[in-house]
Each structure stands twice: as C-alpha cells, then as structure tokens.
Amino acid sequence: MDAAGRVAHCVVMGSREGRGATERPLLSIVDDDESVRESLPDLLREFGFAARAFSSAPEFLSSEFVDATKCLILDVAMPGMTGLDLQQELKRRAQEIPIIFITGQKDEGIRRQAFKQGAVKFLYKPFSDTAVLDAINEALRVK
C-alpha cells in the first residue's frame, strides 16, 4: 500500500472518529524518527486502533497516556533514554505494557536483551503492514 492511498483512506476514516466509536485499544509509538511518528499512527488507525506518537522515552513517561497504553511500539536506538532503558523503567514502575521493538540496526545482542526483558516482538525497519499488525495482535493477546 502506498502512502498516498493510506492518507486518503485515513481521511475517510477520520470523518467517523470520535462519533459514537467504541473504545479502541491505545497503541503508543516512541521513536525519534519523525517519519515514523507521522506514518505509523496513520497505519494503526487504519487497522482500527487509537494511536499516539512520542519523540522520546521521557516524553512518553511524562504523558497522561502511559496507563492507557495497551501496546508500546518502541524504537531501540534513541538519544538519551534508549528503548531498552524505557523497557527497564516501565518494569521498575511495574507498568505491564507489551512492547514491540522496531529498529533499523541488526544487532542480535540487543534483540536477545529485549526479549530477555520481556519484549513481545522485534521488527526490523522497514517492516510490512502485515508484520506490524501480526505483532500488535500477538502483543494484545499477551496483555
């Protein structure tokens, strides 16, 4: 699916949002890449989820959406607090949020550490729409 098709589809869906819609699971995205923060929420909304995007781990942690988040899609490599650091901080706070890691770096050590700390999935960028939807469905079953 191309970006233009996705945007057009979202505009149509957006006209119904908020009007008697049933509660949709909130998925939060934490990624320092602006293009991911702009495109991934649109895709998630197409799939029927509510979505919020954050540019950093501290921004997410200080938001009002931590408790409502049903699944966290988290970049591994970010300046300051990394994705793995955020995963540990959530664990320290006893916040049980299923995490899907996304990254452009193929580092098996980081991947193993993420799973050891409880990650549900680990996707390499670029990933397909189907791969992210499958990962989300698995994460929501875990919750």
Report the distance separating Cα 126 and Cα 94, nearest Å: 31
| DSSP 8-state code for residue 23 | P
Helix axes 34-46, 3-14, angle to 10 degrees: 60
Where in the chain are the domains? 23-142
Question: DSSP letter at 55?
Answer: S
Regarding predicted confidence, which is higher, 93 or 13? Answer: 93
The pLDDT confidence band at residue 22, using thresholds 50, 70 and 90, is low
pLDDT > 90: percent of the chain: 83
Q: Which fold does the domain 23-142 belong to in CATH?
A: Rossmann fold (3.40.50)
Instruction: Measure the CA–CA gap between 137 and 25, rounded to whole angstroms.
Output: 11
Residue 141: in which H helix or E strand, if any?
Answer: helix 129-142
State residue 4's pLDDT score: 36
Strand order in the sheet with 121-124: 50-54, 26-30, 69-75, 99-103, 121-124
Average pLDDT (8-19) is 33
In single-letter form, the type of residue at position 24 comes to R
pLDDT per residue as tens digits for the range 101-133: 999 999 999 999 999 999 999 999 999 999 999
Q: Is residue 94 over pLDDT 90?
A: yes
Mean of per-residue pLDDT scores for the chain: 87
pLDDT of residue 23: 84
Q: Provide the residue count of the chain.
A: 143
The pLDDT score that the predictor gives to residue 142 is: 83
First to last CA, the chain: 29
What is the model's pTM? 0.84
Tell me: pLDDT of 24 over 60. yes
Q: What is the pLDDT of residues 131-140, one digit of tens each?
A: 999 999 999 9
How far, in whole angstroms, is CA 23 from its chain's centroid?
18
The two counts, helices (H) then strands (E), for the chain are 6, 5
Which pLDDT value is given to residue 143?
66
